[in-house]
Amino acid sequence: MSVTVTLGPAGRCRWDEPVRIAVRGLAPGQPVTLRASLRDEKDALFRAHARYCADAHGQLDLERAPALGGSFAGLEPMGLIWALEPEKPFWRFLKRDVQTPFAVELEVLDGHDPDAQWLLGRAVHERDFLAPGVRREPVRAGRVRATLFLPPGPGPFPGIIDIFGVGGALLEYRASLLAGHGFATLALAYCDFEDLPKKFDTIHLDYFEEALCYMLQHTQVKGPGIGLLGISLGADICLSMASFLKNISATVSINGSGFNGNKAIYYKENSIPPLGHDLRRMKVAFSGLLDIVDIRNDIVGGCENPCMIPIEKAQGPILFIVGQDDHNWRSELYAQIASERLQAHGKEKPQIISYPGTGHYIEPPYFPMCPASLHKLLDKPVMWGGEPRAHSKAQVDAWQQIQTFFHKHLNGKKSVKPSKL
């Protein structure tokens, strides 16, 4: 009997959806090694492997069989995806073109590594970023450089503006996946893209206000308010927008700080001075990587520090998603200070979801964790924190929490469908 690898669903699926991997046609109790590999758009190779034993019927179902070692251990049905590691050091897993899928090659080898050599079976599993019917529309409106993703159907849909961190460029993968869950989502660039400034400098909120107005005026976007989603510096931009601009109904900060870091933030006659940093506070970890978690200047005056974003002015609720092992800065502490500020100004205590063992880059589900990569401003590799298994579980939960929050405050719905895993 030949060995076959079966996938459920059998065809292509979204990146944020689980896939069921099973192997048939093995000998009872046969030891095997499963390998997964993927090449990104820049031809960087990512790989993962795990050792298993077939059951008494010669079958192997990753939803029931624990891995005996390798890139991960234990019952991890999606381990071969989230445990993918780059062959090239300090290489972050990214999807640059959401119009094409990633192809994950799955192989079954006889025996356990390092002795596993004989290839028994293989399959190619495609994971894409555009659900059927999702429309992708490039936006070049005034100064705004962005891409709008519209869900299938007539609309209008609840709207979200999605902003990434200091790396710049136009990243679309989070927005495209959110559109598959019913949100009209604008992936917004603000530096290092087309005719935008090459380097991140000062933050002028009037550019982001232009993007907000574009969404509010779009016939496919449901009013009266828009949601904001940001990570790292993008989260702080979202918090600034919520504090100074109108018609923002809900904001999600993923590992933001709530402070203005290195450059001033301007909006009309308002400005927030930078907190600043001291590179002498940088540490070198045991691995040799730079640890920048403590380089920011001390927060004198706590929640009333003048460099803090005045989030008490925000009209809508704020959800803080926090990695307890974030090494970009102390996100958990910053979220607590933000909560103190809101309550000191008579506002409700915000929702803070804090994940242990979770680093800086909290991505959509099953994205491999990025433990370290080149810092755009320092031009050196730094550590971002996180333990792969805990980080992966946090990403699955955070994705659902984000959707539930936006459905509640933009759409009036209670919750989203729970994960299959």
Give the separation between CA 175 and CA 97, rounded to whole angstroms.
12
Alpha helices, DSSP H, located in 139-251: 173-179, 205-217, 233-244
Which amino acid, 309? I
3-state SS class at 343: helix
391 is known as an active-site residue: no
User: Residues 6 or more apart from 73 whose CB is under 8 A from it?
Assistant: 50, 66, 67
CA torsion, ordered 160, 162, 163, 169, to nearest 10 deg: -140
State the catalytic residue, choosing from 360, 375, 407, 409.
Answer: 360
State the catalytic residue, choosing from 16, 236, 291, 326.
Answer: 326
User: Residues 6 or more apart from 245 whose CB is under 8 A from it?
Assistant: 205, 208, 209, 212, 267
Cβ neighbours around 378 below 10 Å, total: 13
Cβ neighbours around 263 below 10 Å, total: 15
195 is known as an active-site residue: no
Q: Are 111 and 33 in contact (CB under 8 A)?
A: yes
Q: Are strands 248-254 and 221-231 parallel, antiparallel or unpaired?
A: parallel
Q: Are 172 and 147 in contact (CB under 8 A)?
A: yes
User: Residues 6 or more apart from 88 whose CB is under 8 A from it?
Assistant: 44, 45
User: Residues 6 or more apart from 256 whose CB is under 8 A from it?
Assistant: 230, 231, 232, 233, 234, 235, 236, 238, 239, 320, 331, 334
3-state SS class at 137: strand
291 is known as an active-site residue: no
3-state SS class at 56: coil
State the catalytic residue, choosing from 232, 253, 331, 392.
Answer: 232
**Residues annotated catalytic, as ranges:** 232, 326, 360
